[in-house]
Each structure stands twice: as C-alpha cells, then as structure tokens.
Amino acid sequence: RLAADGRCPFVRDEGCGVYRDRPTCCRTYPLARAVRLGDGGEPAETFVVDASCPGFGAPEAGTVGAWTHGQGLDPYHAANDRAARLFLHPRRPRPLSLSPAGVHLVVMALYNADVFRKHVARPGFAERSGLPPESVARALASGEALLELGQDWLARRLFGDRTQASGGTGEGKP
C-alpha cells in the first residue's frame, strides 16, 4: 500500500529499502508490461513506456530487451508467462467465476505450497491427476517445480485441459 503522500513505503532518503528484492513492477519501471496469449497459445507481450520518467534525459538510449535483462526480469517474466497460460486460458469462463471448491484448489496449488506438497505426495496422485510421475517427483524436490505442477494440475481440474499450462505436450485435448 502506498504511503499517505502517494509514495512507495519502501523509498527512504538513501533510496529503495528493498531494492535487491523489489517486485516486478519496480524492476520494470519506467515500462509496464501487458501480456496476452498469441494465436499459438504462447504469451505475447506489449510494453508501455512512462515518458515522464526522469531517466529519459539520460545520454544513452537503450532497448526494452536490454532494460528488462539488465533489471534481472528474465526469470520473473518466465514465471509470469507461465501463470498467464493458466489465467488467460481459452476455456476460462469470462467473467471468471469459481465455485468455493475451485477457489480452494487455486489457493492450495498457487499460494499454500506446504498443503499442496502434502496433497501431491499422496500415493496415486500422478495417476489420478493424469500428470507424469517424473513431474510429480520433480515437484516434490523443488518449490519452483511444485508451482509449475500446480499450474498444470489446475488447468486440468478447472478447464479439463490435457496439455500442460507450460505449453508442453500432455496427452492431447480431451
């Protein structure tokens, strides 16, 4: 939440107090990134520039790619693109409306890693879910892989999708 004067609460006299761990929007500024799914289901990005940024008076011009790479955004964009495949899924109802059970699944898979890990570790999870056992094994060993598995699992549970949210090849559409 912004401070009462509209400023970021992490900005101190000496600069950003969370610079190393700053969120994506701060890393991206003075750009704003919008994502949609392209014709092939892959994320397509558009950048908007805040021309009021004082950095535009700098003597050196750069590219969007150089800026985002220099700000360490590549892994953030990869994770956001993966989530976009789920949130922008073509079978997602518009407007989105989930049952209480659907909301529970989303919260568990995307935000409650400890509970989801226990769910995934249950015997027979891979078979019941139609997910490759090797993906389940990777998920139990890595938090990032667990989140990816959760996105694939949600695509199956919420939309009946038999391909992985990552855009990988699953067993084909039902």
Q: How far, in Å, are 33, 38, 98 from residue 45 at the CA level? A: 7, 9, 27
DSSP label of 21: G
Residue 130's region, left for phi above 0, alpha for psi from -120 to 50, else beta, is: left
Q: How many Cα neighbours within 13 Å face the side chain of 136?
A: 18
**pTM assigned to the model:** 0.70
Q: What is the pLDDT along the chain (174 residues), one digit of tens a residue?
A: 888 988 889 988 888 899 888 888 888 888 999 988 888 878 888 988 887 777 666 667 688 899 899 899 998 888 888 888 888 888 888 888 889 999 999 999 999 999 999 999 999 999 999 999 999 999 999 999 999 999 999 999 998 876 655 444 333 332
Alpha carbon 83 to chain centroid distance? 4
Nearest-5° Cα angle at 140, 103 to 117: 30
